[in-house]
Structure 1
Amino acid sequence: MDYNAVHMFVTVSQTGSLSAAAERLGVPLPTLSRKITELERALNVQLLERTARGCRVTEAGSRLYDHASGGIELLQEAERTLLSAQTKLMGRLRLSIPQSFEPWWELLGAFQRTHPDIQVSVYSTERRVDLLADGVDVALRVGAIADDTVVARRLLSLRHVLVASPTLLGRLGNPAEPNDLDRYPCAAWGSTLEARPTWTLAGQVQQIKAAFTVNDYVHLRGRALAGDVVTEVPSFLVVEHLRAGSLIEILPDYPFPESPVHLVYRKQRHLSTIVRAYLDFCRYHLAIVEERCTLPPSTL
């Protein structure tokens, strides 16, 4: 027995006409009519009587409807259950984000509250991971993307700022230009022990006599809050401190260049449902990050 044809017959019985059933099922009327005829031939009974107003179920058709309609409803309920389960995403999402990118922590928390059955594994690192070799689904990267093997979705731009505590500036005064930094204790981000750090201020590269270097911006923020140093940090790490006055942006007329922020994933024909859900969530909830990256007006 053609169970698809039985489904069509049940729908005709419920709607009272072939055309209404065809419209409900989204199939051409000739196809539905042919399938009903084939079902009648297979069962060797007449199921429907055509009338001027539509069609009427025969006695044999009524018996088939009584037995089949409940089964059709059970199948439809099973289909709805499966589709519902598919919308409830489950699985693992493997991410890479830069160290200390605090605003993204808030976004990830919101994502998991929306999709509690997705397990998120985050690899936090300063290096640019190899998505394939490191098994990463999506990476958050700051800076230009020069890799034609990946897709990069640009999200926003951010920049770094020079900051110092009011205590330090009260003792040494405010620098007026980059060359004045030579008389300030400076700390800088550095990925190697040998590298001499540089800051690009208003397009000009400034070599820094750093008293302290570390590859951890949170550590640099802590030294600035303690009143020990002038340092460079990403805007999102100090926005709240600048608003509260516990840190002050210095040399605002000599800004660092802006850096683009991208979500990066491998080129492939079909993205997984989980990866697509994450990418869409990030796009629609980007305000969580943007608010934390927006600098207040300088107080200098």
Structure 2
Amino acid sequence: MNLRRMSRTAMLYVVAGLLVSVWVFPVLWALLTSFKTERDVLAYPPTFIFTPTLSNYREVLFGSGSILPNLWSSAVVSCSATLLTMLFAVPAAYALARLRYPGRRASGFYVLATQMLPPVGLIIPYYLVMQRTGGLDSYPGLVMTYLTFSLPFAIWLMVSYFEDIPYEMEEAALLDRAGRFRTLWYVILPQVRGGMAVTTVFVFLNAWNEFLFAVVLGGNHVRPVTVAMFNFISVEQTQWARLAAGAMLAMAPVILVGLAAQRHIVKGLTVGAVKGGGRR
């Protein structure tokens, strides 16, 4: 039995290692490429032993093609969109999960329908609206655009966490005359902190990595880093080393956010494994 258990555990580790390597290999390859010269990048067969250089990072950060302003634009847009999304998504998800009001099913279906719309089909309407309202190449215009497609996702993700909270906890607080808002703030929200962390990280990731709306609705003033990295790609030449360095710098804030919220993310992803005792 012990031998069988050990072999099964070893097999699981091997399978998990293979699955992780599918994600890790491109990242490691890009990391190695960011320290190469253009000559080493284009060498065939690929070189694994080379003299590393920081010139690509210096050029990307402080050269003529610096992406520092673009990192700032991405940070402003992503943080603002995430903050507004969570500000509206939490009470909306609470209402859909806990309250009984006329039109609840219709409003839930509307939120789901907006989440299912293909983003590419909304580019032209968004562009025309932003052009008429002066929202092109501006932070408010891009933030409001991101809010429209991140809000339905956040609402439906948060609904599942609110539904796992037993109704008895809320009823006890209401019987003590805590009020609906105080019950939400002091009783319900502490129970769904993990779910809020997961939702916040996912919304931030979607906003940070978004490219389609940024390239169409942005401009010279507001240009997120996902759009700025295309400056290293041209018809004549693609600067692979600098592009890889820019990609590593663009990944760094996302990795830091994930590490900072790791404990809450794990708790939030596993909270639905055991359903609460609430009524449906």
> TM-score, normalised to structure 1's length?
0.22
Identify, as 1 or 2, the structure richer in helix. 2
TM-score (norm 2): 0.23
Q: Which has the higher contact order (CA 8 A, sep 6+)?
A: 2
